[in-house]
Structure 1
């Protein structure tokens, strides 16, 4: 019988690596030549940008960022073809830190939140006084979202020719929320809209987000503020009392006198599952200072045990104004989980 052969390393054939032997580097380029820009729109995975030099650019996302890395209002750095010429495509390689982020939860499911707009200074909540009827709980929820994001809030009441605004405004007086009242009965030109000058003054020089139900007149106001916007204007369904969605995606529009308006699609819900009650109370300086004496984990609701806000009112230190502000705050707090 033949003895088994003994093998050595010389008998093993080493196949060459067809991909090369140099290991892949994890280092990424620093893109020192990247150009800063503002995201003014999104469309099917592409971002529409305006560079700091005023050039309109279309860009894709760098692979490491992902397709959903940016929202309207983001400041980004972009490389590639930034000439703005037709059929050119640049690439977003960095997203700057956000100053503010307006968020909304889907169906009030915790963890399902998404950022709607970044870096805005002010949330303009547009609601009609009639046709369709105002929905105060929706307004409350928008206010909560604004306070949570660290943004100022402005109530913009439309169709004041159809209903008196005073009763509606009285619910927000104690919160110190600014308001503008407008009316556009058959308005054909911006000069026919009463209250437009006050609204223009409130948004000029700022980045403002406009939100509201379909049919409340939001697009009419946007077209008046930005004549070249040409946003579609919808009608209210006489059967349901609801408007038809006319804006399909958020878009940032430059104001002639300076600043930006971000027009958003008409909303029918504004989930707030992501909002922490403790962070909300600190949006109100006086209430937040008192709430520091609350026990750990206090929900600040009317049935919360040993809530320092109740002691503040019961002792008389809050006064009538403080008591009204606490009642309004608790109404906002309850709106986090109520249907609108």
Structure 2
């Protein structure tokens, strides 16, 4: 159904404040329309640096939306935003380039294509092809318009309710793991696995073919990673919030040793946001004023921009090298606190 489907696309530039910091940003919007009798449409595009394209389409609760995305390189990503929310129900970085889901609310859905933050800072660009499909009962998707009423929240006791909360993996067979998939189906591709006792965050649940599925991610996640069976999720107490350093979003601030290729060692200011046991985001201010965010999770270290990272232990410190050019020494105390 995706080949040679007639479509009409209406694109309009979204005005951005003409400040120096945003002068290079460019956001555009495309209102997706389907030709009479069609239930799908596809688009080709390109984004660079801080540019983004938001595809807007209106659909009804109970319909099935499909997004198929073919990026020109790994820096091009997309998220699916439900009506009236900035919390994605799908992101390509965590859950893959294909999305299929039964919609829980009527209104305007936004599919936003952009460059990954780290690559955007380097003004990387990339092309893409994106295709949309809307099937199922209800009003066929038309030009974007005002959102409709939200779907009724399911409050049964068969798993987590449809709101972000702290949950724990429980009830698995000894030695088994909870599989997280790209969609609410046992045939969907595996993207993540959680062991018994792992803390996770639920971003909403739905019934599919008599089974209950939840859109979840790690406990400190700001967006979901994929879908898992609610049968193995139990409510858990949310981790206690540490007090913040006054006037900052951080639980601790200070200086860490850092070194950059061809330059002598220096110290760099940092702030840390702790999300739970062994998980934290360390934001380091570089000598040129830019920031580097290091994400620590279960002994693994990554960056928000997906640059190559090598991490090793030296005593009570984690030594992190990013892209072969940046070296940071992060004490364990920064991650775990007192």
TM-score normalised by length of structure 1? 0.24
More strand by share: 2
Larger relative contact order (CA 8 Å, sep ≥ 6): 1
More helix by share: 1
Larger radius of gyration: 1
